């Protein structure tokens, strides 16, 4: 019992002081001795309390060394202090782990307090809502996200359905936003970037609208003719057939071409990532296509060709035929009669001097103005819509070329000058070229 020992020592000290005081001076000596002893005791205790207070207020100091009751108190406090420091460090590590986990969440997260003020945001939420993670802490979110839809959504308090938001600070950004209520009227705002999904949805809608638009005209023409024929007397209808049938045939071809190109695109999109590494005899494929084109063209154009013998590619013959076919058809389709169309297949060098194989289709047609060039490979993009449709064009040819070329690790280069003609170069990288002797 160290405390009792200390108490005993103090009492002994007081008794001895009183006894010594009495011995020195018979009258009041004991009281004086006791008082002096008490004063000394008081001073000693004050010093100890002072040392303890200093240590408690400065963690870095060593704990005071004492004896008896004071040493017990010091040890107890020292142990509690150590436990507290360990618990605090653990808590800090835990908070840091939660913070890191919150930052790693693949969605934006904002924690709001009961007053709807921002308590915490993760990096994605900062990007989604254009926030400042430090300066905006403690601010009202509704003051920072200036969208009436957002304000109404937050005010009405019904969060069953998520909100679709288009924040103004980043054009094209679409967010799906959820509100989760937790704890004591606090809220979590969770945001998900759905820009890609929205863009795909928009493209799908545009695509369906374009296809419907392309089909509407031929269907209207065909049904118009059929109705007229049905209304005619049998003899009149038979007499009209030689004029009507070619027109019907043209519209049917248009629809057939459209369906064929749509199927080709769908096949390209659903095909495996890479076309096969099967050797394709490009010289014989191209020579065959040029011969076919000459036969179909019936000398309306001069079709020249320079095909390098033995220059083969690894790939899909169907897709390579599609690339060459679309470029050649376009050159013939848009060039006036009597002009020259040239097909060239040869080795070349790309921009970095690496070998490549190049299919060039050159014409002396009307040419294409520079502003159209970047958009030519978009689906249904046409420079001359009338001429394209009149000649069986679908607006999908160059989209197919680009898609098939990309799959073969190649790319399309277009040069054109209005009034002078165009040159389309399908460039295939060296990986797709069959080495000589294989």
Instruction: List contacts with ligand ADP (CB under 6 A).
Output: 326, 330-331, 334, 363, 365-366, 368, 376, 381-384, 388, 393-399, 422
Coil, helix or strand at residue 412: strand
The DSSP code for 264 is: H
Specify the residue, 225 or 381, whose C-beta has the smaller distance to ligand ADP. 381
**CA angle (277, 282, 287) in 5-degree steps:** 160
- What is the closest distance, in whole angstroms, from the C-beta atom of residue 366 to ligand ADP in the complex? 6
Specify the residue, 71 or 391, whose C-beta has the smaller distance to ligand ADP. 391
The DSSP code for 433 is: B
For β-strands 313-314 and 355-363, DSSP reports them as unpaired
**Dist. CA 357–CA 140, nearest whole Å:** 61
- What is the closest distance, in whole angstroms, from the C-beta atom of residue 266 to ligand ADP in the complex? 16
Specify the residue, 49 or 263, whose C-beta has the smaller distance to ligand ADP. 263
Specify the residue, 376 or 434, whose C-beta has the smaller distance to ligand ADP. 376
Q: Which residue is nearest to ligand ADP (CB)?
A: 397
- What is the closest distance, in whole angstroms, from the C-beta atom of residue 235 to ligand ADP in the complex? 40
Beta bridge partners of 429: 356
Question: Please, are residues 384 and 333 in contact by the beta-carbon 8 Å criterion?
Answer: no
Residues 6+ apart with CB under 8 A from 404: 268, 316, 319, 320, 322, 323
**Dist. CA 110–CA 124, nearest whole Å:** 10
Task: Dihedral sign for Cα 69, 71, 76, 77, please.
Answer: positive
Specify the residue, 322 or 330, whose C-beta has the smaller distance to ligand ADP. 330
Specify the residue, 143 or 420, whose C-beta has the smaller distance to ligand ADP. 420
Which tokens sit at 77?
A: 């406090």
- What is the closest distance, in whole angstroms, from the C-beta atom of residue 279 to ligand ADP in the complex? 28
- What is the closest distance, in whole angstroms, from the C-beta atom of residue 252 to ligand ADP in the complex? 17
- What is the closest distance, in whole angstroms, from the C-beta atom of residue 332 to ligand ADP in the complex? 9
């Amino acid at each position: 019992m160290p405390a009792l020992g200390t108490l005993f020592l103090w009492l002994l000290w007081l008794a001895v002081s009183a006894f010594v005081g009495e011995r020195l001076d018979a009258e009041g000596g004991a009281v004086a001795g006791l008082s002096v002893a008490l004063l000394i005791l008081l001073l000693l205790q004050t010093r100890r309390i002072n040392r303890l207070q200093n240590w408690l207020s400065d963690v870095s100091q060593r704990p005071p060394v004492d004896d008896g009751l004071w040493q017990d108190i010091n040890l107890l406090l020292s142990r509690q202090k150590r436990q507290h420091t360990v618990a605090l460090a653990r808590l800090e590590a835990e908070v840091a782990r939660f913070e890191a986990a919150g930052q790693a969440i693949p969605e934006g997260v904002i924690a709001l307090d009961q007053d709807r003020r921002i308590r915490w945001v993760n990096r994605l939420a900062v990007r989604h809502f254009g926030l400042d993670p430090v300066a905006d802490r403690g601010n009202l979110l509704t003051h920072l996200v200036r969208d009436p839809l957002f304000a109404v959504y937050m005010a009405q308090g019904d969060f069953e359905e998520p909100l679709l938001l288009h924040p103004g600070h980043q054009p094209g950004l679409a967010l799906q936003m959820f509100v989760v209520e937790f704890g004591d009227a606090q809220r979590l705002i969770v945001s998900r970037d759905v820009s890609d999904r929205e863009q795909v949805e928009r493209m799908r809608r545009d695509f369906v609208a374009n296809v419907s638009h392309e089909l509407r005209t031929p269907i209207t023409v065909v049904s118009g003719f059929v109705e007229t024929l049905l209304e005619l007397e049998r003899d009149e209808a038979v007499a009209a057939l030689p004029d009507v049938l070619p027109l019907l045939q043209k519209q049917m071809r248009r629809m057939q071409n459209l369906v064929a190109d749509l199927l080709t695109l769908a096949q390209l999109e659903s095909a495996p990532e890479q076309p096969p590494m099967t050797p394709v005899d490009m010289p014989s494929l191209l020579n065959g296509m040029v011969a076919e084109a000459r036969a179909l063209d019936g000398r309306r154009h001069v079709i020249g060709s320079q095909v390098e013998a033995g220059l083969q590619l690894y790939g899909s013959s169907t897709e390579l035929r599609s690339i060459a076919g679309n470029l050649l058809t376009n050159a013939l389709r848009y060039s006036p009669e009597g002009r020259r169309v040239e097909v060239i297949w040869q080795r070349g060098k790309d921009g970095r001097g690496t070998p490549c194989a190049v299919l060039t289709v050159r014409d002396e047609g009307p040419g294409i103005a520079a502003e159209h060039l970047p958009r030519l490979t978009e689906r249904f993009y046409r420079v001359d819509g009338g001429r394209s449709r009149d000649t069986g064009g679908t607006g999908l040819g160059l989209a197919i070329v680009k898609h098939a070329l990309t799959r073969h690790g190649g790319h399309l280069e277009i040069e054109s000058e209005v009034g002078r003609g165009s040159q389309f170069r399908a460039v295939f990288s060296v990986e797709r070229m069959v080495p000589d002797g294989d």
